[in-house]
Amino acid sequence: MTTETVGSVEASASGPTSTGSRATMILGIVTLVALGVLVLFGLILSPADESQGDSVRIMYVHVPSATLSYVGCFLTAIGSAVYLWRKSQWWELVAYAGAEVAALFTAFTLITGMLWGRPTWGVYWVWDARLTSEALLMLLLLGYLAVRRLAADYEVRAKRAAIIGLLLVPNVIIVRQSVQWWRTLHQTPTISLSGAEIQGLMLFSLFTGFVAITLVFIWMVIHRFRVAWLEEQLEAEGLDTAIAERRAEGVIS
Amino acid sequence: MKARVAVMFMLSDAWLIARKDLKLEIRSRVAINQVIPFALLVLVLFAFALDPDRGLLEKATPGLYWIAVLFSGLLAMQRAFSLEAADGVTDALRLSGLSPSGIYLGKTLSVAVQLLVLEFLLGVGVAVLYGASITGWLLLMATVVVATAAISTAGTLFGVVAAGLRVRETLLPLLLLPVLAPVLIGATRAFEAALSGTPSEGWPWVGLMSLFAVVYAVAGIFGFGPLMEES
């Protein structure tokens, strides 16, 4: 009798009701196919580099994930801004999902970078501009996630995290600039606007890498968002149920 | 006209808060009795870690100086908000009708004044203990001013993000230190440039740190209101 007052249906009408859907299932399949194509081109069809040998193949996942770690930060900043402006929980959760996936991609970039650096430079880590700013980006994201996961009311942690999320972009720009001035050893960007340095099959493999890793990124953000959304709904629903139960008790006595 | 009145109120509120915080600091003597001795302790510990006879200290002086400033400054920033944590002062501040931007600027000013005192004493400390010879005064002074502005604007903003939480003591360093990394790099390089007699290399850093301070001041002025509403 009291279950009708639980407004779970209307609450979740504006968001996902499960972690899967037909569209994302197709997206998932496409992503897997793209990863297969990437493996084919990256590991088998593309030639080894003249100077770096086979280790150059790490580039096909390293460069796209580095780019997407920055995309994730932008997503977090945009989501945080809209949340602060409109108080939209949907966007807040987009920011959260973006930050978590960005942290994952940053970690992946750092690990693949170190594995690539060892055979190329002879060491796992050098204090060059891009490595250092990526490491700082990781720490900034961990700070955001630490605040977002505080044991506090949703409003409190969401608002505080959103301020940090909003500052991620200016932070990243200043950090990059400062570290760039501080030191620059890294090779210049592989692809520049004036024309690519790598050509042919290697360039195509890198392109495949961008497509596949971007699909992985999108798939992850969507699913992380859905899980976060359902978690928040569950919490709200639990509260609604508890209130309804208390009311029912009052009616009986 | 309206905007000008709002700015006037904001500045007078800021002055009020800064005076209140500094008066509390002077009367409680926590900064004098604990923060400053801690800062000097850090200088002595660096000497233990890097053998003073090998000339490492002298070479690393700018970096060590700014690390000491950051670590002891963190203590001062924790203080700025633990002052408000007791006796429901946060609620009282919210009810006082002072403009949140004014409260932010006031707290920033009070932190900046404390940092300046700390930096002066640490400067004397490195000159005496590490035997640093000081040159390039103009650049040194400019660096101290903009770095202090950068540290206090960002520190106050992240201070309120961490304020009122049970985990604030551990959260603030995690949030603030990566953010202040560019300031540490910039201030250290600018000091190195001044001390090595090539001040022209230091001025771009002063510019970068000024930009940093402006970004955080703007974020604080607009972000402090929403942050003070809850918690």
Is B19 in contact with B114 (CB distance < 8 Å)?
no
Q: Is the pLDDT of residue A2 over 50?
A: no
Q: Is the pLDDT of residue A12 over 60?
A: no
* Other Cβ atoms within 10 Å of B136 Cβ, number: 20
| Contact residues on chain B for A182, CB-CB shorter than 8 A | 185, 189
| Contact residues on chain A for B155, CB-CB shorter than 8 A | none
pLDDT of residue A176: 81
- Report how far Cα A124 is from the mean position of its chain's Cα atoms: 24
- Could B219 and A166 be called an inter-chain contact, meaning their C-beta atoms sit closer than 8 Å? yes
- Could B208 and A179 be called an inter-chain contact, meaning their C-beta atoms sit closer than 8 Å? no
Q: Is the pLDDT of residue A226 over 90?
A: yes
Is B1 in contact with B87 (CB distance < 8 Å)?
no
Q: Is the pLDDT of residue A230 over 50?
A: yes
- Could A174 and B227 be called an inter-chain contact, meaning their C-beta atoms sit closer than 8 Å? no
- Of A22-26, A170-174, B29-33, where does mean pLDDT reach its minimum? B29-33
- Could A140 and B179 be called an inter-chain contact, meaning their C-beta atoms sit closer than 8 Å? yes
pLDDT one-digit tens code per residue, A195-209: 446 678 888 889 999
Q: What is the mean pLDDT of residues B93-101?
A: 83
In chain A, domain spans: 22-186+199-239
- A234 vs A250, higher pLDDT: A234
pLDDT one-digit tens code per residue, A59-93: 899 999 999 999 999 999 999 999 988 888 899 99
Is A177 in contact with B181 (CB distance < 8 Å)?
no
SS3 content of chain A, % helix, strand, coil (to 5): 80, 0, 20
pLDDT of residue B78: 86
Distance separating alpha carbons of residues B27 and B70, to the nearest angstrom: 24
A-B CB pairs within 8 A amount to 70
Phi, psi for residue A17 in degrees, rounded to 5? -110, -10
Q: B137-162 and B100-129 helices cross at what angle (nearest 10)?
A: 130
ipTM: 0.84
Distance separating alpha carbons of residues A98 and B100, to the nearest angstrom: 30
Nearest by CB to residue A152, choosing from B165, B186, B227, is B165
- B203 vs A127, higher pLDDT: B203
Q: What is the mean pLDDT of residues A26-31?
A: 92
Phi, psi for residue A126 in degrees, rounded to 5? -130, 155
CATH architecture of A22-186+199-239: Up-down Bundle (1.20)
B91-113 burial string, b = 16+ CB within 10 Å, else e?
eebbeeebbbbbbbbbbbbbbbb
pLDDT of residue B209: 92
- Could A136 and B178 be called an inter-chain contact, meaning their C-beta atoms sit closer than 8 Å? yes
pLDDT of residue B84: 76
CA atoms in the 13 A half-sphere facing the CB of A126: 19
* Other Cβ atoms within 10 Å of B204 Cβ, number: 15
Distance separating alpha carbons of residues B158 and B152, to the nearest angstrom: 10
Q: Is the pLDDT of residue B16 over 50?
A: yes
- Could B230 and A140 be called an inter-chain contact, meaning their C-beta atoms sit closer than 8 Å? no
pLDDT of residue B10: 84
- B160 vs A6, higher pLDDT: B160
pLDDT of residue B230: 63
User: Mutation test of the interface with chain B: which of A178, A179, A182, choosing the one with the most B Cβ atoms within 10 A?
Assistant: A178
| CA angle (B113, B115, B116) in 5-degree steps | 65
Distance separating alpha carbons of residues B143 and B159, to the nearest angstrom: 23
pLDDT one-digit tens code per residue, B134-191: 788 889 999 999 999 999 999 999 988 888 788 888 899 999 999 999 999 999 989 9
- Per-residue pLDDT band at B56 (split at 50, 70, 90): confident
Average pLDDT, chain B: 87
pLDDT of residue A6: 39
Q: Is the pLDDT of residue A13 over 60?
A: no
% of residues, chain A, pLDDT over 70? 87
pLDDT of residue A181: 77
